[in-house]
């Protein structure tokens, strides 16, 4: 008889709590990205892995999982400012998020021009 595996949505408060706990201990988090905002560099359903880093360690052009007012977003850092970082999806021309908490992508997808990416 097949057993059901629990499904933890990557936009849920439980997923955020799990990411914070795991990354705080220095481990990485692997999950499947959902949505179209990072196409063509990250596709819906593509596996990504995050590593811990501080907001000061991320650089412009790197991809982070950011906690925004609209929930968690896997977006690219477009600017660093004193109060945090500005992020935007690669497929989004206008809307950007100001975030003070983000976790860096362990390795950027091929062809994005970024190197290894990270947050606290």
Predicted pLDDT at 100: 63
Residue 93 located in a structural domain: yes
81 domain residue, yes or no: yes
The answer as to whether 116 is a domain residue is no
Question: Structure pTM?
Answer: 0.72
Reported as a single tens digit per residue, the pLDDT across 58-97 is 889 999 888 887 778 889 999 988 888 888 999 987 777 7
| CATH number for 72 | 2.10.109.10
19-43: per-residue pLDDT in tens? 889 988 989 999 999 999 999 999 9
CA distances from 117 to 23, 60, 105 (A): 14, 10, 5
Is residue 45 in some structural domain?
A: yes
**What would the mean pLDDT of 36-61 be, rounded to a whole number?**
88
Residue 5 lies in a domain: no
Looking at the predicted structure, is the pLDDT value of residue 113 above 60? no
The total domain count for the chain is 1
Residue carrying the six token digits 């990485």: 28
Residue 110 maps to a domain: no
> How far is C-alpha 18 from the chain's CA centre?
14
Domain coverage including residue 40: 13-105
User: Is residue 40 assigned to a domain?
Assistant: yes
CA atoms within 13 A on the CB side of 90: 21
Does some domain include residue 118? no
What pLDDT is recorded for position 41?
93
The HSE-up count of residue 29 (CA atoms within 13 Å, CB side) is 28
């Amino acid at each position: 008889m097949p057993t059901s595996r629990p499904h933890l949505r990557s936009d849920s408060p439980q997923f955020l709590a799990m990411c914070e706990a795991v990354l705080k201990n220095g481990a990485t988090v692997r999950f499947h990205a959902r949505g179209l905002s990072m196409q063509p560099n990250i596709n819906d359903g593509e596996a990504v892995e995050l590593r811990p880093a501080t907001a000061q360690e991320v650089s412009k052009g790197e991809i982070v999982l950011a906690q925004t007012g609209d929930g968690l977003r896997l977006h690219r850092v477009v600017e660093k400012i004193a109060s945090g970082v500005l992020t935007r999806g690669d497929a989004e021309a206008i809307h950007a998020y100001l975030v003070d908490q983000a976790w860096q992508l362990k390795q950027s997808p091929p062809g994005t021009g970024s190197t290894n990416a990270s947050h606290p």
